[in-house]
Amino acid sequence: MDTTEVIPQAAPHLRIAHFAAEVREKLGAVAASAHYILGPEVASFEASFASYCGTAHCAGVASGTDALAIALRAVGVRPGDEVVTVSMTASATAMAILQIGARPVFVDVDRRTRCMDVSLVDSVISERTSAIVPVHLHGYPVDMPSLMHVASRRGLAVVEDCAQAHGASIGDRRVGSFGHAGAFSFYPTKNLGGIGDGGAIVTSDPETARKVRALRQYGWADERRISAEAGYNSRLDEIQAGVLNVLLPHLDRENADRREIAARYREGFAALEAENIVSLASESTGCVNHQFAIEVDHRAGVQQWLRSRRRVLTAVHYAVPAHRQPAFEDGCRTPLPVTDRLAERFLSLPIQSEAVAGREHEVIEGVIEAVRSCARS
């Protein structure tokens, strides 16, 4: 590869290019088929993805945001309810809660996992709380056994936001299988992503699965097509499902590649970490490294330096956490110091194998040089 070429932060088109022949064949087959909506590609993907996640059911929907909103309604969250979640996440997490008339209430994240600090959940639960939405941020699995313990003690439903964590695990169990339901996104940049929008809900509860299937399609309760409640038009389409059927068998290998790149980064940053110049997430064997975010001072300078001198592109996930956005401000009951600090210091490096494999050294070397030079200036 030409080493003067830019290293992109994420490059979903390179992954699609890698499977170009299979994808093209699949798109042709869908176009030639008589089934464009909820056809055989969706049915086959749902069966494979449920089995991959270790759940009894999977229902494809139009996006990760819809997956969260529909799952929350299916597990019984009603307008006016409060839902405990984190602010250090994509706005979609809180937006899905708002969309169904409920209120997101935020708890801070743990400094080392960057995920929900489970020990703080009890302190924000009120008599209106009906559910908890943990987010497996950057592919890092939340401590689900502890969270499920809190939820069952308080009688709350749990919907896991797995949009960044396809295949992440705790022990031999995959995320999405711990809560009452798990919500996934197949947005192109995710660990498993299509060539457009898509999402899915996984659950092992047959009643939740039934409700989800009704809600995604006009509230139709059964094949008589009679609407029983306000539903959506939110279906995974055959084209996306076809592409996902091509990619799913390769997900574990791609996640292993991400882990390997993360391990190279960790090794490379060990000295900076020891000097407290760069902070990394604590290690987790079940993490699937959707992002590899380092914490640095002088982020803008480091980012600019890397772009202009090394042609390494980075990204910030997320500069303005949900509780600092007008739509969600009133969900902030307690200060969120860790979230605020991470929001100022996070910098996501390239981690997708098609973007960076074999060039980790360039990135690490560049980051070290950039951090040192920005600290001096």
Ligand X SMILES: *Cc1c(COP(=O)(O)O)cnc(C)c1O
Stretch of residues binding ligand X (CB under 6 A), selected from 4-12, 156-164, 302-310, 318-326 = 156-164
Name the minimum Å distance from CB 64 to ligand X.
2
Q: Between 174 and 364, name the residue whose CB sits nearer to ligand X.
A: 174
Q: Which of 50, 83, 90, 118 binds ligand X (CB under 6 A)?
A: 90
118-147 footprint of ligand X as x/- string (CB under 6 A): -----------------x------------
List of long-range contacts for 300-306, beta carbons under 8 Å, 24+ apart:
301/370, 301/374, 301/377, 302/347, 302/367, 302/370, 302/371, 302/374, 303/347, 305/369, 305/370, 305/373, 305/374, 306/366, 306/367, 306/370
Interface with ligand X (CB under 6 A), residue total: 15
Does residue 193 interact with ligand X by CB under 6 A? no
One of 12, 199, 242, 321 touching ligand X (CB under 6 A): 199
Residue number with CB closer to ligand X (142 or 306): 142
Confirm or reject binding of residue 113 to ligand X (CB under 6 A).
no
Question: Which is closer to ligand X, CB of 144 or CB of 163?
Answer: 163
CB count within 10 Å of CB 42 equals 25
Q: How many residues can be counted in the chain?
A: 377
Q: Binding segment for ligand X among 36-44, 87-95, 148-156, 318-326 (CB under 6 A)?
A: 87-95
SS3 of residue 259 by DSSP:
helix
Beta carbons of 74 and 49 less than 8 angstroms apart: no
Neighbours of 368 (CB within 10 A): 16
> 45 burial class (0-12, 13-18, 19+ CB within 10 angstroms)?
buried
Touching ligand X, residues 32-71 (CB under 6 A): 63-65
Residue from 9, 55, 93, 208 in contact with ligand X (CB under 6 A): 93
**Tokens for 301?**
């300078």
Comparing CA positions, the residue from 96, 33, 38 lying closest to residue 235 is 38
**Peptide bond preceding 318 in cis form (omega within 30 of 0):** yes
- Pick the binder of ligand X from 9, 185, 234, 284 (CB under 6 A): 185
The residue type at 227: S
Question: Which residues within the stretch 287-346 sit at the binding site for ligand X (CB under 6 A)?
Answer: none
DSSP annotation string for 35-70: --BS-HHHHHHHHHHHHHHT-SEEEEES-HHHHHHH
Supply the minimum distance, in Å, between the C-beta of residue 305 and ligand X: 27
> Which residues contribute to the site for ligand X (CB under 6 A)?
63-65, 89-90, 92-93, 135, 161, 163-164, 185, 187, 197, 199
